[in-house]
A and B are shown apart, each in its own frame.
Chain A
Amino acid sequence: MNQYDAIVIGAGHNGLTNGAYLAKAGLKVAVLERNPYIGGATVSRELHKGWWYSNCSYVSSLLRPEITRDLELPRHGLQVVSFGGGATFTRNGDYFGNYSDHDRHYREMARHSKRDANAYDRYAADTSLQTKLIRPYLMRTPPDPTSMKPRDLRDLLEFARSFMDLGEEKLLDTIKFWTASVGDYLNEYFETDVIKAHMAGSGIIGTALGVYSPGTAYVLLHHYMGDVDGNVGAWGFARGGMGAIADALSKAFQSYGGEIFCDANVDEIIVKNGRAAGVALKDGTEYKAPIVVSNLDPKRTFLDITNPSDLPKDVLKKARNFKIRGSSGKLNIALDGLPVFHGLDPRNRLMAGDLHFSDSLERQERAYDDWKAGTWSKDPYLDMMIPSLTDPTMAPPGKHMMSVFVQYAPPKVEGREWTDEDKDGFEKSVIDQISNYSPNFRDLILHCETRTPREIEAEVGLTEGNIFMGELTFDQLLFNRPFPGYAQYRSPIKGMYMCSSGTHPGGGVMAAPGANAAREILADLKKPNTVPGGYADD
């Protein structure tokens, strides 16, 4: 009874991916989920009858195509549908639109600045160069720079060579890029406020940093390195909402014999003689297995569900110091019809993309100032989508579902816990901002789910509501993720592993951490590898 070869804690997309690859290798695997439903932050929930909300993660680009194909997720019902468009509305009643056609995009930029429009090609080439450096490492375990193992030395050499091959000038650019702020990076190319603001959003989403904070240029890259069908930087919706990804992964996992248990709230990882031996649930049930994989973030993994006496002090210290700061909230809104925005015909295809209202870097930085002061942004940065313009299954015909990602929202309000009044104030600042640009918006609202970091942490289990399970800054990337010395998915306890977005290559519904961790586990077990390598990027 309850005896498995491996137990994975948390049925989010990484836990399910990890479980699928272990089960595919012939292991008897159980995935345990605290909630009564699977998916973690990759869920679709019908919170208003007839409306489905991707109420946590809301778009898909980074999900590795190698995994989608290898686990036959389309056969298990997953359909990722590209969307196009996007716009940033300006205070003077105009907007800046994002077109997929290169020349149409040029013309739109030229409407604001011919020089910016022309500089975009240089910007795109330089940014693509950076994505090409990082993309080959997504489906690989980061090398350990302190290790003398042949594999680590070989990978490090290869890593170093890809940088050295750039030549001096581009290498210097690269070093600068990895440490620069997204604001400074964009200032080197563009002169127009709204153009810069439109692009800078990707540099701050999910991070407790402002557009002028060093390290945010990389965050921009993180949002740019995904692809939909080889179109690097393209984004899509999972048809039926993000839960479709978890559903397809769970079916793949179960097709290999894996078992999923919901309402299974893990209290502690059982360690015997320095080895993982299973888990104990809060209700007292025990599941035994020599392999235990945590899909919780590094803080929860080491500070909540592991007995501190089983861990070396350095890991406890690193876990405690791990940066996982809440910076965002979310509104999911059921709408009675399509909102009309100043300056843009609602039938315009730009409406189907990501919509924003912060028309300058300055406004984005001011929004961050509020976070630093311990409160939510009074003039927030919104990443707003209407997925029902692309996916007819999200809302009844003619009605719409709106997903509003909101930045910034602090983990605590002026040092204290969030209250319901705070939540109302947060919601109001968002709805007020949208209403400033859309006269009919407020009247269309049928239902609104508002999630501050408090709700995201409590319901999803993301510490402080941080969507990436840890800041994506260089001190926490690659061989530093989650901590130096522990970036190869192994914990200090034998048989215990990590597979969450808190490990390389980070969050964004990539499923790469889950797959990479499975590869390491299978290697330790001396089992044949079932995890695919990455496609060559050229």
Chain B
Amino acid sequence: MSDVSRDTMLLTTPFHSRVEAMCDLNDWGNWMGYTTPNAYFDVELEYFAVRSTTGVFDLSPMNKYRVTGPDAQRYLDRLITRDVSKIGVDRVGYAIWCDDNGQVMDDGTIFRLGEQDYRICSYQRADDWLAWNTLGFDVTIENESEAVAGLAVQGPTSCTVLTLLGCTDLNQLKPFGIAHYSFEGRPLMVSRTGFTGDLGYEVWVPPESAEALWDQLFELGRDYLIKPIGSHALELARIEAGFLQANVDFMPAEEVVRVGRTRSPFELGLGWLVDFKKPLFNGRSALLKEQEKGSRYRFAMLDVEGNKPAEHSFILRGNKQVGTVTSAAWCPTAKANIAYAQIEMPHGAVGDELVAEIYYQRELHWTRLLAPCKVIDTPIFKSPKRWQTPAPPH
């Protein structure tokens, strides 16, 4: 029933033929216009692949922008809040960028591929915004989103599997490091980055290599119990590991309609990514003012009593509503009930004891639960493997 004139609503990634073959549940979602699996066979088991063996997630729909030219570093320094000069060649930096009001637009990773050669990997599309920012800089921006296919290969046996694939000495690669290899005559780039909080890598190849890469990974990884994972399993892992998600934990500033719904880096617990030593960057003066006058909100990680996830809960102090939950999950490895919340200042400091107003349904019966919770200072899942170099074998 192929119809060349058909205007397909959802696109497929370069890995799709392989993804589809493994997607036993046939449970698909739409991620930025791409058909992506919510789950392949069992969310729980996929999640545990990331924590115990190797989980593979197709992240090709991520937006990728190449920034080159004599002013590339200066340009990025103006763009993002942290000091770009501190990101060495073949290193990756986690970064956020703000609008002129100091409100977070997106977060992402900055890959430094050469002296004046960077790639921004972002959740949101940023063509327009990146273009406006080039004024006064000698840089070229290229949208590489479709030119680079990517797989997150995450979990305790991931280093071993990728080494078998030909990534020699990968265990020596430090966290946030980049290594370059070739795969079937084409470039293959590995970065020790990820969204799961454990040992893990992201593998970047031209789309033409995608299917062969997938096939070899799963062939070589079989003895290391490699499994594909969908977006639901990744969501569990990222909440447990303490990562924020655009459009879930904050609204990209330029898309916000209603007054007051944007958030600053400080309000998202990302103040450590703001470097005021830089003389100029987008949002600097607004953020300086905020630092002086104080923020409106505070990002809090909550350890919630009981085992009911505090999804969409109001957070109370006494009878007063002081915040709302943005992400919540029962974390299967940490065995803890974790929620991320936006809390009105001055509440929500580490150690504060609050109450989550949880609603849950069983057999069409709704129950309201007031669960005490406590603000914790670090993510509940902390794997030493994430930081170890050389990377452990499993």
Identify the A interface with B (CB < 8 A). Answer: 65, 68-69, 73-75, 79-84, 100-101, 228-231, 234, 239, 349, 389-393, 397-398, 535-536, 538
Contact = CB atoms under 8 A, between A and B. Distances in A.
Nearest to B41: A349
B45 A74 contact: no
A390 B42 contact: no
B362 A81 contact: no
A83 B53 CA distance: 12
A390 B307 contact: no
B18 interface: no
A390 B335 contact: no
A73 B52 CA distance: 16
Contacts of A83: 45
A142 to B, nearest CB: 23
Given A65-B335, A74-B334, A82-B48, 12 more contacts: A69-B335, A75-B382, A81-B51, A81-B52, A100-B42, A229-B330, A229-B332, A234-B44, A349-B45, A389-B225, A392-B225, A393-B394
Contact of B307 (A65, A101, A234): A65
Given A65-B307, A536-B306, A74 B52 contact: no
A391 B52 contact: yes
Nearest to B303: A69
Interface string B332-351: 11111000000000000000
Interface in B15-52: 25, 41-42, 44-45, 48, 51-52
B176 interface: no
Contacts of A536: 306
29 contacts: A69-B336, A73-B335, A74-B335, A75-B382, A79-B52, A81-B48, A82-B44, A82-B332, A84-B44, A100-B44, A100-B45, A101-B42, A229-B44, A229-B330, A230-B307, A234-B44, A349-B41, A390-B48, A390-B52, A390-B53, A391-B52, A392-B53, A392-B156, A392-B394, A397-B160, A398-B223, A535-B306, A535-B307, A536-B306
Q: Across the A-B interface, give the 3 residue pairs with the lowest CB-CB distance, nearest first.
A: A397-B223, A398-B223, A229-B332
A109 B207 CA distance: 42
Given A392-B156, A398-B223, A84 B52 contact: no
A200 B242 CA distance: 43
Nearest to A239: B52
Contacts of B307: 65, 230, 535
Nearest to A388: B225
B140 to A, nearest CB: 45
B48 A68 contact: no
B227 to A, nearest CB: 9
B330 A230 contact: yes
Contacts of B94: none
Contacts of A390: 48, 52-53, 225
B376 to A, nearest CB: 12
Interface in B327-386: 330, 332-336, 360, 362, 367, 381-382
Nearest to A399: B223
A168 B345 CA distance: 54
A349 B333 CA distance: 22
A120 B224 CA distance: 35
B85 to A, nearest CB: 37
Nearest to A393: B394
Nearest to B44: A82
A82 B225 contact: no
A538 B367 contact: yes
Contacts of A80: 335
Interface string B44-75: 11001001110000000000000000000000
Contact of B42 (A75, A84, A229, A239): A84
B154 interface: no
Interface of B: 25, 41-42, 44-45, 48, 51-53, 156-157, 160, 223-225, 306-307, 330, 332-336, 360, 362, 367, 381-382, 394
Contacts of A82: 44-45, 48, 332
Contacts of A393: 394
Given A79-B52, A229-B332, A390-B225, A84 B157 contact: no
A533 to B, nearest CB: 10
Contacts of B52: 79, 81, 239, 390-392
A397 B333 contact: no
A84 to B, nearest CB: 5
Contacts of A228: 44, 332
A335 B306 CA distance: 42
Contacts of A74: 333-336, 381
Nearest to B161: A397
B319 to A, nearest CB: 23
A390 B224 CA distance: 9
Contacts of B330: 229-230
A267 B307 CA distance: 43
Nearest to A398: B223
Contacts of B45: 82-84, 100, 349
B25 A101 contact: yes
Contact of A392 (B41, B224, B335, B360): B224
A101 B27 CA distance: 12
A234 B45 CA distance: 11
A69 B374 CA distance: 14
Contacts of A391: 52
Contacts of B48: 81-82, 390
B210 to A, nearest CB: 22
Contacts of A535: 306-307
B167 to A, nearest CB: 17
Nearest to A337: B223
A398 B394 CA distance: 14
Contacts of A389: 225
A228 B48 CA distance: 12
A324 B354 CA distance: 48
Contacts of A75: 382
A75 B48 CA distance: 17
B383 to A, nearest CB: 10
A392 B307 CA distance: 29
Nearest to B27: A101
Most chain B CB atoms below 10 A, which of A82, A389, A397: A397
A392 B55 CA distance: 13
Contacts of B223: 397-398
Given A229-B330, A392-B156, A392-B394, A397 B224 contact: yes
B122 to A, nearest CB: 32
A535 B360 CA distance: 15
B188 to A, nearest CB: 22
A484 to B, nearest CB: 33
A69 to B, nearest CB: 5
B70 to A, nearest CB: 48
Contacts of A69: 335-336
Contacts of B381: 74
A82 B335 CA distance: 13
Nearest to B39: A101
